[in-house]
Amino acid sequence: MHRINTSFMEKSPDLTWRDVQHLIAKTAKIPNPVEPGWAINGAGYHIHHRYGFGLLDAGLMVQQAMLFQTMPPHRKCSQEMTFDPVRILPPGGVVSVHIQSDGCRGTDDALNSLEHVQVTVSITSVCRGDLSVDLISPSSTCSQLLGPRGNDASAAGLRNWTLMTVQAWGEEPTGTWRLKVTDNKGTVAKCGRGEAEEAAGAVLSATFTLYGALDPQRPGSSGPLETFVSMGKRHQIPLSRRGEWGEVSTQRLIQMEFEMESRWKVTADDIPAPLQTKNTKLKFRPAQSFSPQDMDDTNGEAFRAHLEQLWNTLRSKVESNWALYKSMAKTQSPQLRLTDGALQRFLRGEPKVGVAAIERLLISGVGVASESPPNPLAQLLRSVASDVREMRHLKDILGSRGAWQARWGAGGTGREKRGVTHFHPPLPVSATPRERTAP
């Protein structure tokens, strides 16, 4: 996918991420028409719950990218629903929630062509893996947002889970949507559900969010579907098939699309040279202007918090492996005591501890521990030595942040003086301020 994106972005550098998704939906091909599950949605796109829009064709995407018109601005339309009383889900039963939508008509968020649809739900359940959630659009397109999961025996339910679908791509959002929650009792054997259950769960709330665009020239949808999308274009559905719209004619249409897409091959000769290239002058920031603040678009505190989390993780791992090594060692040699003291001072963040010396002590210990196989002691020492090296790099990064912290006025410890920065190790999650050992 990365190589395909690179190919057509070279030809059409002005495409946005939404344009790329529209190109995929318009040009993807049906790989196997007899595979169960293929359908035509209300906007004429062929869709599948496993294969999405189908198989990518790099040549066709590049060709169509040359002709593609950038999509109108992105819009978002949302509505929240809290159910009082809650909708009880019976064992092995179904709860259907009807959602009436006008696509935010008459507001600045109005849209009439769907892209992504999100549903954030809160559902209690005695066995979460037995739950499935489906969304049926006003055009009767069914999207499986969540399927049953045989290994999910949790009783925590779904708490503000956000589920998404693109199966209604291009459809008109106005009308009645149906959210269908099903208890597929018996899917998860570990749940051991009995016959005396009064309820399998309850649907508490749902937030319905539509993403798409407003196309003023789009005609209103009425009557049966007349066109379908294939090979980047819209095609008329044969008259003989329009009156038979249903499961049988859908399969016929899928087969017809497959045969058409199989015959149409795009070669390099079919891709025109770009008439005009825009935005090809890249602007590079000089290397000396980079600061850690650029990593997270804030004052750098988020980046520091990430580094501190890495330090805590490595410290816990080193402490655990070192404690295990000491418990397995046969004798408390002078070398072990020397290494232990230096390592403990390093973990406390003392500034005058030579990490290289600790590494030499650890590596020399590997040789001793490896004298007679098997050698779990050697593996422990290698792991500790490797983690100490990583911690040394983190210590250098964290310790060098005082200059820019003082400049930006955030994240400083108040100890940066005369250009000298001291490293103060972050506290583990369970520690208290009294447990910090200041250098």
More confident residue, 17 or 429: 17
As a whole number of angstroms, the distance between CA 82 and CA 316 comes to: 43
As a whole number of angstroms, the distance between CA 328 and CA 383 comes to: 15
Q: Once rounded to an integer, what is the mean pLDDT over residues 210-225?
A: 80
**Residue partners of 395: CB distance under 8 A and separation at least 6:** 311, 349, 423, 425
What pLDDT sits at residue 403?
38
- Out of 60-74, 81-95, 236-250, least confident range: 236-250
Beta-bridge partners for 118: 164, 209
The answer to whether residue 282 scores a pLDDT higher than 50 is no
**Residue partners of 234: CB distance under 8 A and separation at least 6:** 44, 227, 228
- Out of 86-95, 250-259, 289-298, 358-367, least confident range: 289-298
Q: Once rounded to an integer, what is the mean pLDDT over residues 139-159?
A: 93
What pLDDT sits at residue 354?
65
More confident residue, 330 or 119: 119
The answer to whether residue 245 scores a pLDDT higher than 70 is no
Most confident range, picked from 4-8, 210-214, 344-348: 210-214
Whole-prediction pTM value?
0.60
User: In this structure, what are the phi and psi dihedrals at residue 79, rounded to the nearest 5 degrees?
Assistant: -150, 140
- Out of 44-53, 63-72, 235-244, least confident range: 235-244
User: What share of the chain has pLDDT > 70, as a percent?
Assistant: 71
Burial 334-366 (b: 16+ CB within 10 A, else e): eebeebeebbebbbebeeebebeebbebbeebb
**Are 229 and 25 a contacting pair, CB within 8 Å?**
yes
As a whole number of angstroms, the distance between CA 408 and CA 416 comes to: 13
The answer to whether residue 390 scores a pLDDT higher than 50 is yes
Give the torsion through C-alpha atoms of 55, 263, 17, 146, to 10 deg: -30
The answer to whether residue 384 scores a pLDDT higher than 60 is yes
CA neighbor of 226 nearest in space, from 214, 216, 212, 238: 238
More confident residue, 301 or 275: 301
Most confident range, picked from 24-38, 300-314, 361-375: 24-38
More confident residue, 369 or 403: 369
CA neighbor of 197 nearest in space, from 155, 134, 149: 155
Q: Model confidence at 302, in pLDDT bands (50, 70, 90)?
A: low
Q: Model confidence at 353, in pLDDT bands (50, 70, 90)?
A: low
Q: Determine how many CB atoms are found less than 10 A away from the CB of residue 72.
A: 14
What pLDDT sits at residue 404?
37
What pLDDT sits at residue 166?
96
- DSSP-derived 3-state class of residue 373: coil
Q: Once rounded to an integer, what is the mean pLDDT over residues 70-84?
A: 90
As a whole number of angstroms, the distance between CA 279 and CA 217 comes to: 29
As a whole number of angstroms, the distance between CA 412 and CA 301 comes to: 10
What's the maximum distance between 2 C-alpha atoms anywhere in the chain?
Answer: 92
Provide the residue type at 223 as one letter: G
Q: Model confidence at 300, in pLDDT bands (50, 70, 90)?
A: low
CA neighbor of 315 nearest in space, from 177, 437, 202, 159: 437
As a whole number of angstroms, the distance between CA 44 and CA 170 comes to: 8
Q: Model confidence at 192, in pLDDT bands (50, 70, 90)?
A: confident
CA geometry: angle 249, 250, 252, nearest 5 deg: 60
User: In this structure, what are the phi and psi dihedrals at residue 290, rounded to the nearest 5 degrees?
Assistant: -75, 140
Whether residue 85 is preceded by a cis peptide bond, meaning omega within 30 degrees of 0, is yes
What is the sign of the dihedral through the CA atoms of 291, 297, 301 and 305? negative
More confident residue, 314 or 241: 314
Q: What is the DSSP string of 188-227?
A: -GGG---S--S-SEEEEEEEEEEEEE--TTPPPP-SS--E
The answer to whether residue 421 scores a pLDDT higher than 60 is no
**Are 110 and 103 a contacting pair, CB within 8 Å?**
yes
The answer to whether residue 88 scores a pLDDT higher than 70 is yes
User: In this structure, what are the phi and psi dihedrals at residue 409, rounded to the nearest 5 degrees?
Assistant: 75, 25
The answer to whether residue 171 scores a pLDDT higher than 80 is yes
For residue 173 the two structure tokens come to 């959002």
Most confident range, picked from 61-70, 113-122, 209-218: 113-122
What is the 3-class SS of 241-294, one letter each residue?
A: HHCCCCHHHHHHHHHHHHHHHHHCCCCHHHCCCCCCCCCCCCCCCCHHHCCHHH
What pLDDT sits at residue 24?
93
As a whole number of angstroms, the distance between CA 140 and CA 109 comes to: 24
More confident residue, 170 or 321: 170
What pLDDT sits at residue 78?
93
Mean pLDDT of the chain: 78
More confident residue, 177 or 269: 177
Q: Model confidence at 22, in pLDDT bands (50, 70, 90)?
A: very high
Q: Once rounded to an integer, what is the mean pLDDT over residues 44-69?
A: 89
What is the sign of the dihedral through the CA atoms of 344, 348, 350 and 356? positive
